[in-house]
Amino acid sequence: MASLTTQFFGIELKSPVVAASCSLTGNIEQIENLAKAGAGAIVLKSLFEEEIDAQLQEELSERKALEPDPEYMDYFDYIIKDENLKNYTNLIKQAKQTVDIPVIASVSCISASDWVVFSRKLEEAGADALELNLFLLPADISRDSAANEQFYFDAITKVLENVRIPVTIKISHYFSNLGQMIQKLSKTGIAGITLFNRFYAPDIDILNEQVVTADVLSQVSDYQMPLRWIGLMADQVDCPLAATTGVHTAETAIKMLLAGAGVVQVASVLYQEGPEYIAKMNEQIKSWMDKKGYDRINDFKGKLANKKKDVVIYERAQFMKYFGGKSYS
């Protein structure tokens, strides 16, 4: 029987199918179900910087009139952050006591502020690794691309200075020079990069003329964006890559591994099919490997990654093959 053992987060995993950060991984019962189903690791529900800041601003606005002292405000800032971190470290400790697979802490960052240094507390709570979910929507015209990119390096530097456990990052594709950025990030000392995170997207309700939330769950076809960039970058980076967004089937997971991913992170399909779906994915990956004669993930991982001479496969030439030509009538 084929072995699904692979490497990511700087550690060995028994399966390439990882439960991504979502509400399911913020619940101990569901975490146990995911582990029983055969998940290679659990990425806990993210500790969101935005949520901490929103809570802080709400509390401060209520108290400012009663207690305008800046020193008190700084103290209250600390209390809010400390309470959130206390709840999160308790989740880590409970998860570590409940399951026997790696438990990955996750922090969603929109700034490289000093609170990131609290990552050490996540390590002390027992997290096997830390995933930084980094995202800046480049819509602030007062910031240039260099400033936006520097945020990523500043956040990584601060965290690496404060923890010894492996640190990985999850990023979006919102970069003007995405390939070069992925390569630069891979050289910072991190243990891996996950392509790509999925965030809130807006839609418009034309009946009520208001902005609403678009589909929260990914679609099956969404895997094509990370597949392209995994394939293009797998042989050009200094750390492992993981794929996420649109990974709904074992077939898609195999595609990502062939392109060069070490693991896939799944979330949307778990809401649709339940945690037990991971077991089905694992069995289907094993079945495919047995049919192909592969004993280990490494036997085929990256087999279809960009090897320089095949770069056109992942770029525009494929589009021209089907839609090119010189018919202008």
CA distance 303 to 260: 7
Using the predicted structure, report yes or no on whether residue 60 has a pLDDT greater than 90. Answer: no
pTM score of the predicted model: 0.86
Residue 126: closest CA among 171, 90, 160, 154:
90
Flag whether 328 is in a domain. Answer: no
Cα distances (angstroms) measured from residue 137 to each of 193, 251, 253, 297 = 18, 31, 28, 35
Residue 310 confidence class, pLDDT cut points 50, 70, 90: low
Whichever domain contains 142, its CATH number is 3.20.20.70
Using the predicted structure, report yes or no on whether residue 295 has a pLDDT greater than 70. Answer: yes
Flag whether 329 is in a domain. Answer: no
Residue 74 confidence class, pLDDT cut points 50, 70, 90: very low
pLDDT tens by residue, 129-171 = 999 998 877 888 888 989 989 989 999 999 999 899 999 999 9
- pLDDT given for residue 201 in this prediction: 82
Flag whether 175 is in a domain. Answer: yes
Question: What integer is the mean pLDDT of 46-66?
Answer: 52
- pLDDT given for residue 59 in this prediction: 44
Is residue 242 helix, strand or coil? strand
CA distance 163 to 118: 9
CA atoms within 13 A on the CB side of 166: 18
Cα of 224 vs its chain's centroid, Å: 16
- pLDDT given for residue 216 in this prediction: 83
Question: What integer is the mean pLDDT of 106-120?
Answer: 72
Q: Look at the chain and report how many structural domains it folds into.
A: 1
> Where in the sequence is the domain holding 271, given as residue range(s)?
6-323
Q: From the CB of residue 237, how many other CB atoms can be counted at a distance below 10 Å?
A: 18
Using the predicted structure, report yes or no on whether residue 107 has a pLDDT greater than 70. Answer: yes
Cα distances (angstroms) measured from residue 27 to each of 45, 80, 137, 267 = 9, 22, 29, 14
Using the predicted structure, report yes or no on whether residue 329 has a pLDDT greater than 70. Answer: no
- To which H or E segment does residue 129 belong? strand 129-134
- pLDDT given for residue 106 in this prediction: 93
Question: What integer is the mean pLDDT of 283-302?
Answer: 98
Flag whether 1 is in a domain. Answer: no
Mean predicted lDDT score pLDDT of the chain = 86
Flag whether 315 is in a domain. Answer: yes
